[in-house]
Amino acid sequence: MTNHEMIASTKIDLWQQLYSTWLTTELFSFTWWFSVLFLVTSYFIWWKLLEKSKLVELLLFGSLIAVMSAFIDLIAENLVLWQYTVKILPFSPAFFPFHLTLAPIALMLVYQYSDSWNKFLMYSVIAGGIYAFAIIPLFVLVGEVRLIHWNYFNNFITFLARAIFCRWILLQCLQTQTSYQGHSANRQFFKPICQPTSKPVHLPKEDYDNPKK
């Protein structure tokens, strides 16, 4: 048996054990129901508060947060910084309720109501405090997650780091988009939540005198 075959066999055995544990211990437990109800409520509140006209921009920002969060979680799990004890679905990532739902939802709302860096930083600090010092301890209390070589302050710092970095990335993308829209003859006007700084496009005088050639 080759190494690849041994790895595949081990994965099958591990999956069977994980699925058996999920089916007999995790499914419909108090922690499982708590997670499901918490997520449903979070999505409901988010959808009610969401500015639907900016849906694409907000989802792009939320996706950036989710991707970065998943990367951080992959590193943390390999270093055994924390551990998840309950999954909502047997094949879903264990970090789904936190890094792919709660953090992106919270920061999408922060982004939505922030048209400047000052507002964004202030709201991010507030949201990060609630997330790190209220929501995470609550999930620790009900047994959803167990912190091993980690603490709540570290959650707060990484929350802010994700927020700042992803907003900066998105602003760079909007800056690039704006510059190309300025040179496009058949452009569609798009007004993002966060207006990137760009120089106005000045048309030659003859274009104003003869708009249709």
| pLDDT at site 78 | 82
Q: Considering the domain boundaries, does residue 30 fall inside one?
A: no
pLDDT at 158: 94
Q: Is 3 a member of any domain?
A: no
Looking at the 3D structure of the chain, how many domains does it have?
A: 1
User: How far is the C-alpha of 211 from the C-alpha of 151, rounded, in Å?
Assistant: 62
Q: 117-125: which pairs have CB atoms within 8 A and are 24 or more residues apart?
A: 117/167, 120/163, 120/167, 121/164, 124/159, 124/160, 124/163, 124/164, 125/160
CA separation for the pair 68, 152 (Å, rounded): 19
- The whole-chain average pLDDT of the chain stands at 83
pLDDT in tens, 74-115: 888 788 888 888 888 887 666 667 777 889 999 999 999 998
What is the rounded distance in angstroms from the CA atom of residue 133 to the CA atom of residue 128? Answer: 8
Does some domain include residue 130? yes
Residues 6+ apart with CB under 8 A from 31: 85, 86, 142, 143, 144
Q: Which residue segment(s) compose the domain that 133 sits in?
A: 46-182
Domain assignment present for residue 198? The answer is: no
What confidence score (pLDDT) does residue 144 get?
Answer: 85
Q: Which pLDDT does position 83 carry in this prediction?
A: 83
Phi/psi for 171 (5° steps) reads -65, -35
Residue 9 located in a structural domain:
no
Establish if 132 belongs to a structural domain: yes
90, part of any domain: yes
Instruction: Tell me the average pLDDT across 47-55.
Output: 92
**Predicted TM-score of the model (pTM):** 0.79
Domain annotation covers residue 202 = no
Percentage of the chain surpassing pLDDT 70?
A: 82
CA distances from 61 to 18, 57, 124, 167, 172 (A): 33, 6, 14, 7, 12
> Which of 157, 150, 136 shows the shortest CA–CA distance to 81?
150
The tens digit of pLDDT for each residue in 111-134 reads: 999 989 999 999 999 999 999 999
What is the average per-residue pLDDT within 175-186?
69
Q: Which amino acid is at 8?
A: A
Of 52, 57, 92, nearest in space to 192 by CA: 57
